[in-house]
Amino acid sequence: MLILLSPAKTLNEEPTNNTDFSQPELLSQSQELIRTLKKLSHDDVKSLMGISDKLTETNVARFKAFKTPFSPDTAKSAIDMFKGDVYTGLAADDFTKGDRTFSQKHLRILSGLYGILKPLDLMMPYRLEMGTKLQNKKGKNLYEFWGSTITEQINADKPKYIVNLASNEYFKSVNHKALEADIIDIVFKDTKNGKQKIIAFFAKKARGMMARFIIKNRIKKIDDLKAFDTAGYSYDESQSSAQTLVFTRPEQ
């Protein structure tokens, strides 16, 4: 079983005491993207990303500071760096060494800059969403840049199942038909005004909570996912299928 998550725009750049780390496998492609990004002006970056002047300055500085090889002195493991709603749900701060080892084998984070990351892969802070229309030598956007590379990396892990907890923007970077594994989509619905619907804020956090549930319980069978009951969610058999597991929660 391999869990797929999206990254986060919010980052925690504070130093950590964790000493276990690995290196991203697609770093040469990341360097190629950085070379392209470094050529852009402040206004180009602002327009490309649709961000404020302050955020633009931050990210232009990040592109300039990008330097390999990565070390714990200059970079940080992805699972410790990413924050935001999904990672609030994942709550990796209290992971044991065993949890981190299990996550390294069973969790992957899709990334516009790094392609795909293992939890312990060192990374430098960045902002580059997968949907960014960055002109590059391979095409007009990041989907064309990464092409089949991300899918090949996933297949190299030889999973039997892919538990898709990534957003549509990121999962679109994976060629579903070329995957050599069954895809299991997870859907979270909350009740609002008497109606069940996907509410982005809650769904993002729930994706992280499901990833945490799998890691903490060392789950390897799809049927065992149905026991997920964090934060009041429960498996809804009537809305689920073999390929899609739906979890619902009563009105909060």
Question: Lowest mean pLDDT: which of 10-24, 29-43, 105-119, 166-180?
Answer: 10-24
pLDDT at 148: 98
At residue 74 the predicted structure's pLDDT band, cuts being 50, 70 and 90, is confident
Q: Residue 110 and residue 67: Cα distance in Å, rounded?
A: 21
Q: Residue 72 and residue 60: Cα distance in Å, rounded?
A: 22
Q: Residue 45 and residue 28: Cα distance in Å, rounded?
A: 22
Give the closest residue to 107 by CA, choosing from 212, 241, 245, 250.
212
Mapped onto helix, strand or coil, the DSSP state of residue 36 is helix
At residue 19 the predicted structure's pLDDT band, cuts being 50, 70 and 90, is confident
pLDDT at 16: 85
Rounded to two decimals, what is the model's pTM? 0.96
186 contacts 213 by C-beta, under 8 angstroms: no
18 pLDDT higher than 90: no
176-232 pLDDT per residue, tens? 999 999 999 999 999 999 999 999 999 999 999 999 999 999 999 999 999 999 999
252 pLDDT higher than 90: no
Give the closest residue to 12 by CA, choosing from 130, 125, 166, 91.
125
The torsion angles phi and psi of 178, rounded to 5 degrees, stand at -90, -10
Mapped onto helix, strand or coil, the DSSP state of residue 186 is strand
Q: How far is CA 251 from the centre of its chain?
A: 28
17 pLDDT higher than 90: no
Q: Residue 32 and residue 115: Cα distance in Å, rounded?
A: 12
Return the CA Rg of the chain: 18
Domain edges within the chain: 2-249
Q: What is the mean pLDDT of the chain?
A: 96
